[in-house]
Amino acid sequence: MDTTLQDPLVGHVLDGRYHVEARIAVGGMATVYRAVDTRLDRVLALKVMHPALAADVSFVERFIREAKSVARLAHPNVVQVFDQGAQGAYVYLAMEYVAGCTLRDVLRERGALQPRAALDILEPVLAALGAAHRAGFVHRDMKPENVLIGDDGRVKVADFGLVRAVDTVTHTTGAVLGTVSYLAPEQIEDGTADPRVDVYACGILFYEMLTGDRPHSGDSPAAVLYKHLHEDVPPPSAAVPGLPFELDELVVSATARNPEVRPYDAVALLAQTLDARMALSDEQLDAVPPGAVAGDRSGAEDRTSVIPRSLSVQRPLPVNDDDAELHRTSYLPSPPPEPPRAGRRTLAPRRGLLAVVAAVLLALGVGAGVWYINSGQFTKVPAVLDKTEAQARKRIEDAGLEVGAVRKANSDTVRIGRVISTDPGTGERIRANDSVTLTLSKGPDIVRVPDLKGFVLDKAKERLEREGLAAGMVTKAFSDEVTVGSVIGTKPAAGTERRGGSAIAIVVSKGRPVEVPDVLGEDVEDARQELEEAGLTVEVATGRVTADYEAGQVAEQSLEPGKNVSEGDTVELTVSKGPPLVEVPDVVGDSVDDAKQALEEAGFEVEEDRGLLGLFGDTVKSQSVEGGETAPKGSKIKIQIR
């Protein structure tokens, strides 16, 4: 299954400029994509930091430092950085796209290489690193995965993500960053990172090219680290008998455990490499390694990782120059006697000449071609994004390819009749004379909003989906025409044109509006009849409450009187069990006015009984409910006056 289809960036335009076509590789810190710069119409690689790391300021600073560092290395054997930017959570580098393969791919497919091929790869790698070292930078993560071999045979060094300034950052604390199979002992032990760690890694890399395998292996990263600290790298001839002494010497010199014994930087190692090449005959350079098998140990030691400092252990190192020289040569067999050669230069003049040659290589980025790695059979699909069909045909045919099927598809961003995509994609390798399928834009996918009036909500959503639209926000409104739960209309209205996938708001009917009658204080059955005639559903609560209303009358209603609600809405009625009982004040002997005031304040109504004898009296003779007893609040108390 093509996992790139699940990548949210594939098919999108990043930062309004870079059309992301495919995912190339995924690392611990970033993902690399093939993309097209729509402004300059060129294929490039986008290195996008994982969004989870973009929130970490230190990671972002390090990522940006890579862009600035590599941009200063204007060298043909270093992958160029064109641009750096960010969009939302995506922080990216726009880099040169190298169509071809990595050295790791070559080693897995072919195993050990002939000495000439190995040198043809090593020399441009050292030229690139030499430019970095002389500019004040260390790569720190050299490995076959970071050596790119283009279809044109050019060798380039990639991924300066761990680059550090030599004069500013030379140590780390607590962890070692790198790939365990290529870490120098001082990186493991104390985090030291000067140009000699790249020299060590190149020695391991060269050993692997000559033998098809790495010199140190183990069941865990810790086991590999231990061997780097305590075991010398053996000469490659121990694994591939017959390799010349000069190649053994080159590997052992570059991988000396004591950094003081190694060449001081990649330029120095390049001079030694050219010296070794000159000492070899054509037969030695082109010798096929006997029985070499491709190494495919894709275990934990292949990955760039952070190694806890607790894995570091002490290692013995030579303590003086004599010991260092012994250390450097302890694995080397004695060189065979050298036959006299006519006109052979002395070693010192030859080294001087090689230093000059190394400087030229360093400046020009020239390496002996490795075109035979990816020669002749393939070309790459040219960039034709946003071109007319005629323009695209011409570019494809000029590249030695043919145009196959021409398809059409909707596009919101590419004009009608212009190229949306190709199959294979832009920059992909394709056999010469093969065909390329073009997909042309037929413009945006325009859809008319369907008339959904009267649809129930679920059916309305299904209809929108069938038409290529999406259901948006659902709101409700009163309607005298549409039944409750059915669609009144949409926003935008039916018949409006919208792009495919647009969200359409739906308005659903709440039915006709009903004004809630006021039934408080009414008998329950009278209240029920009145509410049902208004179009409402009535429920009566099981419990009763003490209220100022008489027992059996409506004390509460759940819907506010006078409010508009939907037809069929339910109103709950709560019935009164009568008013609360209140203690009656004793007003016998009080004046009429005082008695009335006391009783009314207690919540009672007052009735006067004067008779014939009390017409002109002003004193309360008796009361219908004696003082101290209780009576329902709001009930009537009769007072007799004399």
Q: Which residue numbers are catalytic?
A: 141
Is 449 within 8 Å of 503 (Cβ atoms)? Answer: no
**Pick from 95, 102, 108, 101: nearest CA to 30:** 95
- Rounded to whole angstroms, the Cα distance separating 143 from 27 reads 14
Residue positions counted in the chain: 642
Two tokens, residue 576: 């009164």
* 528 vs 540: CA distance, rounded Å: 9
Contacts with 8 (C-beta within 8 Å, 6 or more apart), sequence order: none
Q: In sequence order, what are the residues at sequence separation of 6 or more whose Cβ sits closer than 8 angstroms to the Cβ of residue 203? A: 233, 250, 251, 252, 253, 254, 255, 262
Query: Using CA atoms, how far apart are residues 458 and 447, in angstroms rounded to an integer?
Result: 20
Residue 357's CB is within 10 A of a number of other CB atoms, namely 17
Closest CA to 429 of 242, 55, 150, 231: 150
Q: Is the dihedral of CA 389, 392, 393, 394 positive or negative?
A: positive
Hey, what are 207's tokens? 């050993």
Task: Lay out the sheet containing 570-575: strands in order across.
Answer: 537-540, 570-575, 554-557
Nearest to 300 by CA among 315, 311, 292: 311
* Angstrom distance (rounded) from CA 614 to CA 622: 12
Exposure of 37 in the CB half-sphere (CA atoms within 13 A): 16
Rounded CA gap, 513 and 199, in Å?
85
Nearest Cα residue to 161 out of 50, 75, 2: 50
Residue 100, beta-bridge partner list: 150
User: Mind spelling out the 3-state secondary structure of 243-258?
Assistant: CCHHHHHHHHHHCCCC
Three-class secondary structure of residue 614 per DSSP: coil
The span from the CA of 575 to the CA of 546, in Å, is: 9
Q: Comparing C-alpha atoms, which of 610, 635, 639 is closest to residue 624?
A: 639
Q: Quote the CA–CA distance of 28 and 304 in Å, as a whole number.
A: 8
Q: Are 63 and 29 in contact (CB under 8 A)?
A: yes
- Verify cis geometry, omega within 30 degrees of 0, for the bond prior to 492: yes
Cα–Cα distance measured from residue 113 to residue 127, given in angstroms and rounded to the nearest whole number: 20
How does DSSP classify residue 174? Answer: S
